[in-house]
Structures are given as structure tokens and as C-alpha cells.
Amino acid sequence: MNSKIDLIYEGKAKKIYAHDDLDKVIIEFKDDATAFNALKKAKFDGKGELNCLISSKIFEFLIENDIPTHYLGLKNKNSMIAQKIKIIPIEVVLRNTAYGSLCKQTTIKPGTVLESPLIDIYLKNDELNDPLLTKERINLLKIIDNEDLELITDMTLKINKLLKTFFYNIKLNLVDFKLEFGYNANGRIVLGDEISPDNCRLWDLKQNNGTIVSLDKDRFRNDLGGFIKAYTEINNRINNYINSK
């Protein structure tokens, strides 16, 4: 029986299908790339597969380090099996180095290393262009209670410590990243979505001659070229590192 029949949801970069087990879903990674709230769109052959493989390896690493995630296993190269979760409608961005919207909205210079990680929380709402929230606005909108928000913040800081070291070991600087969380069938908060160069900024430390070399979606956002080459490089470095352990 083909369990990939019922499409539950189609997003910009992924399709979610029903699984025979109602507590699980199948997440298929698409080759589509979007930026600036989908104002800019393109298709890159192999992108879905690369993001799926990169995400699966990172989820496995986080699970080994006691971070609860929705990831259950790979189904094939461009789809994974995950716990069905009720997504909390916030995007949790952690920044180690200033770049992107932080520099557009403040006077901080791009590339400034932050004294301690900054967590910015945005409302997950494309129509409103994912506005930046405050703690008070989160309370006002009753999106999540303070206790769960604290849990998510602590998890994000822990994930940052783990990922910073993980990427540093493969000569990449983890500049910032975006996470999404949800409640699983047991009511537990788990990390969801994906962790890939689509939602992390990764700067190459191998070609670090004073200029920023992005190996992430900024190659598409800023028309830098070499998009698939960069994602392939990330995937290869992760595989070489894991195989050498």
C-alpha cells in the first residue's frame, strides 16, 4: 500500500503527507527555493535531496545529544518520517553574528560578533510578513505560555551550543539560524521543521581571507551563484565528518 497518498499540507519548500500511523507524517523536501517571503522563486535540481539529507544528519546529531525532535528516520533521499506535531506559530531565530534583517533594522554592522547569542522571535504569518514579536505581544496573542516559551528559549540556546561546535568542526561559522517547534502526540515540545542551509547562515572558514563566503541560501537571496555547489559542499563535509568519527 502506498502511504504517500494524502497530501496534508504544501509549504514553500516541503510537502507533508499522511502516514499509515496517524501520529506520524512523511515530509518531502522540494527543489523549490524561495526568498523575501516568496517574492523571489527558483528551482534547483537536487536541492530537496540535499536539504533532506543534511537535516536528517543534524537531527540525528541533536537526538544523540538529548534534544527532542520530530525526526524519526529517512524514508528516501528526499523525504523523512517525522512525528506529527502541532506547530507553534513562531519562528525562533538565534544570532551569533549580526547579519540580514538585524542589520537592516538596527545600526549594528554586518559581521559583528555578538557578545552573547541573541534570540529574536517572529510571528509565523506570511500575510503579515513574519513580524518581529515582543514577549508582551506573545502574551497578548496567547500564542504560548511563559513556561513553554522559556523551555523553547533554553532548547534553542542548547541547540546553538551543539550546532556551533558541530559546524566549527567542519570549518563552518554558524552565523544564525531559524527554528520551529511543536507539540507532539504526548503534548511534549519538540524541534520541528528542518535544519539546513535554507534556514542557517553558514560561512566558510576554509576560504576565510577576510571576505564572507556564504554556503547557504544567501547565495540565492543575493544572486551569488554556486547554490547547489554550496549545499553539496555542506552535505559532503557533514558526511566526511560523521564517517571519520
Nearer to ligand UDP, 77 or 124 (CB): 124
Q: Is 89 one of the binding residues for ligand UDP (CB under 6 A)?
A: no
Nearer to ligand UDP, 40 or 161 (CB): 40
Q: Classify residue 89 as exposed, middle or buried by CB count within 10 Å of its CB (0-12, 13-18, 19+).
A: middle
What's the CA angle centered on 89, arms 88 and 94, to 5 degrees?
A: 90
Closest CA relative to residue 85, chosen from 25, 27, 126? 25
Q: Of 68, 89, 100, 117, which lies in the binding site for ligand UDP, with binding defined by CB under 6 A?
A: 100
Q: Which stretch binds ligand UDP (CB under 6 A): 7-15, 98-106, 157-165, 182-190?
A: 98-106
| Least distance CB 179 / ligand UDP (angstroms) | 9
Q: Of 31, 49, 60, 130, which lies in the binding site for ligand UDP, with binding defined by CB under 6 A?
A: 130
Q: Is 214 one of the binding residues for ligand UDP (CB under 6 A)?
A: no
Give the separation between CA 135 and CA 74, rounded to whole angstroms: 36
Nearer to ligand UDP, 3 or 101 (CB): 101
| Least distance CB 197 / ligand UDP (angstroms) | 8
Is the CB of residue 170 less than 8 Å from the CB of residue 215?
no
86 membership: H or E segment, kind and range: strand 86-87
Q: Which stretch binds ligand UDP (CB under 6 A): 26-34, 109-117, 173-181, 230-238?
A: 173-181
Q: Of 177, 220, 227, 231, which lies in the binding site for ligand UDP, with binding defined by CB under 6 A?
A: 177
What DSSP letter does each residue of 115-164 carry, written as one string? EEEEEEEEE--GGGT--B--HHHHHHHTSS-HHHHHHHHHHHHHHHHHHH
Question: Which grid coordinates belong to 69?
Answer: 525532535
Q: Is 47 one of the binding residues for ligand UDP (CB under 6 A)?
A: no
Q: Is 176 one of the binding residues for ligand UDP (CB under 6 A)?
A: yes
Q: Is 200 one of the binding residues for ligand UDP (CB under 6 A)?
A: yes
In the sheet that 14-18 helps form, which strands lie side by side, from edge to edge? 7-10, 14-18, 24-29, 79-83, 71-76
Residues that bind ligand UDP (CB under 6 A): 91, 93, 99-102, 130, 176-178, 199-201, 217
